[in-house]
Amino acid sequence: MSDADPEMLIYIPFSHVVKIRGLCLIGVPDGQAPSLVRIYTNRDDLTFDSARRLDPTQELPLANSAEEVSYPLRAGKFTAVSSVTLFFPKNFLMNDEPTGVLHIGFLGEGSDRKVTNGVVIAVYESSPQVRDHRVSHTIGVNADGLS
């Protein structure tokens, strides 16, 4: 949450890749509920500045309600999601009062595919063995690596 204005940025990582069909929100009463959300998928590098500049995956005007409201999302844009960042740029008060959200939920399906975060399973040679690297022109070393 920003200290100087009603902006709020929330990053939500998932442990498995998901397909999201909808977003459910409950805002706080008295006009502090967010009036707009900008949704970004698979971005873990957003700041308030970049969220203002970059095009979101989807932008939704929100209802002024302290009750749960479900918002459908474009299915084709939310098929292989490993994280979601929600940027709430303003609330219904339209002043510097903080924005409040009581509940965030997602409608969709999980998958068996875990989020890997770019980690690759690999086997590294921790201590090289000379016998694994046979060279015929080596002087003073036999096949077992001993002189």
String of DSSP letters for 18-85: EEEEEEEEEE-TTTTSBSEEEEEES-S---HHHHHHSPPSEEEE----SS-EEEE--GGGSSSEEEEE
Share of the chain above pLDDT 70, in %: 76
Q: According to the model, what pLDDT value does residue 11 have?
A: 95
Q: According to the model, what pLDDT value does residue 2 have?
A: 45
Q: According to the model, what pLDDT value does residue 126 have?
A: 53
Query: Span 18-46, mean pLDDT?
Result: 92
Q: Which tens digits make up the pLDDT trace of 26-39?
A: 988 888 899 999 99
Q: Which tens digits make up the pLDDT trace of 53-87?
A: 999 999 999 998 878 999 999 989 999 999 999 99
Architecture in CATH for domain 8-114? Sandwich (2.60)
Contacts of 129 (CB under 8 A, 6+ apart): 145
Strand partners, 9: 87
- Please tell me whether residue 48 adopts helix, strand or coil conformation: helix
Q: According to the model, what pLDDT value does residue 96 have?
A: 80
- Cα 55 to the chain's mean position, in Å? 16
pLDDT at 120 over 80: no
For 100, list phi and psi in degrees, rounded to 5: -125, 135
Rg (alpha carbons) of the chain, rounded to whole number = 25
Question: For the whole model, what pTM was predicted?
Answer: 0.75
Q: According to the model, what pLDDT value does residue 75 have?
A: 85
